[in-house]
């Protein structure tokens, strides 16, 4: 089967195992069906996800100009504590920021390689955790805006990491810790103004199973600019990574906005 189009992050479905989909203009692929098959990938060009121009991708699927002008990639995305829409203050576009920031957000603990703390919009549960390749995740607080989630995350960063070690995540080197026990100890560390939002619903404990036939012992990230043609047998998908038999991994998310061709046999 032949596919061609602009790469965007894989859509996922919370099932056992997680189902992954790649969507192109005229077709889509259930990536789980490509397991144990040979995939040829070729890098063909760029197409900015915002302006659709064939300009080099700078970051997050956006060309340089769009990255520095679109409200969708303001600093408050990566650093939620910088959110200001709740004060009526604009960063790039107050309408957009009000829509995105003033909605329920979750601060969570996720077990990916170690226990990490993070922030997500409630609508992104459990997608966000799947995208990170977390084996388990549990929500700590549910707050009405992004700012409150951000200051909670900052307070908890002293106790937990906020980044996933992608190599360990892909090698399935996950620490064995009781997420629920960690969560129970957290209340005291929450900022005062966030404590009323402590989530007592313990059903919000998610366990993710990924479609992986074999975890690699060593991983090498595929760089599509340096290696525009790659061919390998797909042995797994975890997070937003395709894992190949030879230990090569492709972080699909890093190549959003890249036009690629894919041949599966
Ligand atoms: Zn652009």
What tens digit of pLDDT does each residue of 157-168 get? 988 888 889 999
- Residues 113/175, Cβ–Cβ less than 8 Å: yes
The alpha carbon of 63 and the centre of ligand 1 are apart by a number of angstroms equal to 4
The alpha carbon of 257 and the centre of ligand 1 are apart by a number of angstroms equal to 10
- Residues 237/170, Cβ–Cβ less than 8 Å: no
* 15 CA to centre of own chain: 17
The alpha carbon of 52 and the centre of ligand 1 are apart by a number of angstroms equal to 6
pLDDT of residue 203: 67
pLDDT of residue 161: 87
Reported pTM: 0.92
The alpha carbon of 58 and the centre of ligand 1 are apart by a number of angstroms equal to 9
Query: Could you report the per-residue pLDDT of 6-17, keeping only the tens digit for each?
Result: 999 999 999 999
Give mean pLDDT, residues 75-102. 94
The alpha carbon of 240 and the centre of ligand 1 are apart by a number of angstroms equal to 23
pLDDT at 174 over 70: yes
The alpha carbon of 16 and the centre of ligand 1 are apart by a number of angstroms equal to 37
Q: At what angle do helices 94-101 and 146-156 cross, to 10 degrees?
A: 60
pLDDT at 242 over 80: yes
The alpha carbon of 262 and the centre of ligand 1 are apart by a number of angstroms equal to 24
The alpha carbon of 68 and the centre of ligand 1 are apart by a number of angstroms equal to 10
> Got the DSSP string for 6-31?
E--PPEEE-SSSPEEEEE-SS-EEEG
The alpha carbon of 51 and the centre of ligand 1 are apart by a number of angstroms equal to 4
**What is the rounded distance in angstroms from the CA atom of residue 202 to the CA atom of residue 179?**
11
The alpha carbon of 76 and the centre of ligand 1 are apart by a number of angstroms equal to 20
Average model confidence (pLDDT) across the chain: 94
**What is the rounded distance in angstroms from the CA atom of residue 208 to the CA atom of residue 228?**
32
The alpha carbon of 177 and the centre of ligand 1 are apart by a number of angstroms equal to 43
The alpha carbon of 69 and the centre of ligand 1 are apart by a number of angstroms equal to 9
Peptide bond into 17 cis (omega under 30): yes
The alpha carbon of 64 and the centre of ligand 1 are apart by a number of angstroms equal to 7
- Residues 86/101, Cβ–Cβ less than 8 Å: yes
């Amino acid at each position: 089967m032949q596919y061609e189009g602009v790469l965007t992050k894989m859509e996922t479905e919370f099932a056992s195992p997680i189902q992954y989909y790649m969507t192109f203009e005229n077709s889509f692929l259930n990536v789980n069906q490509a397991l144990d098959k040979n995939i040829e990938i070729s890098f063909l060009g760029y197409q900015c996800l915002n302006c659709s121009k064939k300009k080099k991708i700078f970051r997050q699927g956006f060309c340089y100009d769009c990255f520095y002008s679109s409200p969708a990639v303001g600093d408050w995305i990566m650093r939620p504590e910088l959110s200001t829409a709740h004060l009526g203050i604009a960063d790039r576009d107050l309408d957009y920021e009000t829509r995105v920031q003033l909605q329920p957000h979750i601060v969570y603990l996720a077990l990916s390689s170690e226990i990490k703390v993070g922030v997500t919009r409630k609508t992104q549960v459990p997608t966000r955790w799947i995208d990170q390749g977390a084996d388990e995740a549990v929500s700590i607080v549910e707050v009405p805006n992004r700012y409150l989630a951000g200051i909670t995350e900052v307070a908890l960063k002293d106790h937990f990491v906020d980044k996933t070690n992608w190599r360990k995540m892909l090698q399935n080197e996950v620490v064995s810790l009781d997420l629920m026990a960690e969560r129970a100890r957290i209340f005291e560390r929450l900022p005062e103004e966030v404590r009323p939002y402590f989530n007592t619903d313990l059903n919000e404990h998610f366990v993710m199973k990924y479609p992986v036939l074999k975890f690699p012992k060593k991983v090498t990230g595929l760089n599509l600019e340096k290696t525009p043609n790659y061919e390998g047998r797909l042995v797994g998908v975890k997070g937003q990574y395709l894992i190949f038999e030879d230990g090569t991994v492709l972080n699909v998310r890093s190549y959003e906005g890249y036009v690629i061709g894919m041949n599966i046999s």
